[in-house]
């Protein structure tokens, strides 16, 4: 059925903007084939609205401007959201790789002493060896840090302190069991050599104060091993802290994970010409 001109002219703005239904579009095209008057109105829609332009063309132009502004607004919002996501992701990644987590003592599963046969053959003693510390969870590439401190004025008693700190990212990976593992037969075991020479560089800071391990304790010179879950407390302990303060801090903050048994007490340890051996 052929539509009347009045109805077609109401539909022309929608037809011009291609937003009318397919059936209405077909009907308008059919009408425009034979109606020059409606053709003139339609062609006027393509011009900039001005004085004398049909009211329907002014409304259509206004509608197009509104749609354009809305599209620009959506694009702007999308770009802002994208930038926030990218910036937030970068910021989160930077934070996870710089912020740190202290590893609690509960991560230490066991600590036991093992004699080192290679050192035994060279040094002719049965006391030199290593402490095997087993951890429950890997946090690579964080390191189980250690230091040794003399606990008396003559340096006859030494304690080893341990602590561990990991970045948030390494903590998450270690907790999930992903990422690189420590090399060795067992990635959960940390080997700490307990002999005098393994700590020579660190012990050098006590030179001149009479606080080197005595000669008869060159083998296993560590009396006790403490783990501190608070890394800042660990890092604050050094040879300048009074021994009484160290003892108080270890009693309050430290957990003793190993004590040298009587079988490893200095008795038949190295003496004499150890420095002359190749």
Q: Does residue 246 carry a pLDDT above 80? A: yes
| The pair of three-digit structure tokens given for residue 249, joined into one six-digit string | 């801090």
Question: What single string gives the DSSP state of each residue in 102-151?
Answer: EPPGGGEEEEEEEE-HHHHHHHT-S--EEEEEEESS--TT--EEEEEEE-
pTM of structure: 0.62
The span from the CA of 182 to the CA of 189, in Å, is 9
pLDDT in tens, 258-276: 998 877 765 444 333 333 3
Q: Give the pLDDT score at 226.
A: 96
- Check the CA dihedral 129-131-134-139 and report its sign: negative
Strand partners, 114: 130
pLDDT in tens, 184-237: 667 788 888 887 777 877 787 776 666 777 766 667 788 899 999 999 999 999
Strand partners, 179: none
For the chain, the structural domain boundaries read: 5-98, 101-276
The mean pLDDT of 60-73, rounded to a whole number, is 60
Q: Give the pLDDT score at 168.
A: 83
**Coil, strand or helix: which one is 271?**
coil
> Could you tell me the CA-to-CA distances from 12 to 20, 30, 65, 78 in Å, in that order?
9, 12, 17, 33
Q: How confident is the model at residue 68 (pLDDT cuts 50, 70, 90)?
A: low
Q: Give the pLDDT score at 163.
A: 94
> Could you tell me the CA-to-CA distances from 127 to 116, 141, 194 in Å, in that order?
8, 31, 10
Q: For residues 43 and 32, is the Cβ–Cβ distance under 8 A?
A: no
> Could you tell me the CA-to-CA distances from 79 to 82, 145, 209 in Å, in that order?
5, 46, 66
Q: For residues 150 and 241, is the Cβ–Cβ distance under 8 A?
A: no
The span from the CA of 63 to the CA of 170, in Å, is 56
CB-based contacts of 220: which residues, under 8 Å, 6+ apart?
A: 113, 127, 128, 129, 194, 195, 260, 264, 266, 269
pLDDT in tens, 10-41: 888 888 777 777 778 888 888 888 888 888 88
Q: How confident is the model at residue 122 (pLDDT cuts 50, 70, 90)?
A: very low
Q: Give the pLDDT score at 55.
A: 45
The mean pLDDT of 161-181, rounded to a whole number, is 81
Count CB atoms within 10 A of the CB of residue 149: 21
The mean pLDDT of 164-171, rounded to a whole number, is 84
- Token look-up 């066991």 returns 110
Which of residues 158 and 23 earns the better pLDDT score? Answer: 158
């Amino acid at each position: 059925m052929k539509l009347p001109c009045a109805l077609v002219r109401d539909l022309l703005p929608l037809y011009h903007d291609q937003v009318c239904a397919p059936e209405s579009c077909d009907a308008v095209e059919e009408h425009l084939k034979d109606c020059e008057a409606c053709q003139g109105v339609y062609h006027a829609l393509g011009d900039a609205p001005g004085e004398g332009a049909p009211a329907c063309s002014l409304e259509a132009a206004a509608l197009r401007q509104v749609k354009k502004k809305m599209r620009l607004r959506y694009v702007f919002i999308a770009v802002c959201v994208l930038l926030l996501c990218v910036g937030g992701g970068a910021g989160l990644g930077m934070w996870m790789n710089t912020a740190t987590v202290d590893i609690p003592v509960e991560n230490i599963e066991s600590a036991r002493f093992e004699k080192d046969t290679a050192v035994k053959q060279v040094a002719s003693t049965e006391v030199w060896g290593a402490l095997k510390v087993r951890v429950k969870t890997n946090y690579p590439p964080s390191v189980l840090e250690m230091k040794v401190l003399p606990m008396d004025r003559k340096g006859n008693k030494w304690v080893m302190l341990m602590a561990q700190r990991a970045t948030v990212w390494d903590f998450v990976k270690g907790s999930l069991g992903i990422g690189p593992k420590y090399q060795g037969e067992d990635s959960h075991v940390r080997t700490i050599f307990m002999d005098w020479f393994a700590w020579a560089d660190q012990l050098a800071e006590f030179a001149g104060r009479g606080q080197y391990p005595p000669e008869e304790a060159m083998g296993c010179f560590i009396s006790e091993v403490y783990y501190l879950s608070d890394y800042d407390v660990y890092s604050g302990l050094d040879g300048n802290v009074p021994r009484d303060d160290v003892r108080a801090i270890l009693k309050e903050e430290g957990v003793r994970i190993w004590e040298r048994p009587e079988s490893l007490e200095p008795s038949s340890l190295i003496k004499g010409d150890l420095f002359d051996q190749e």
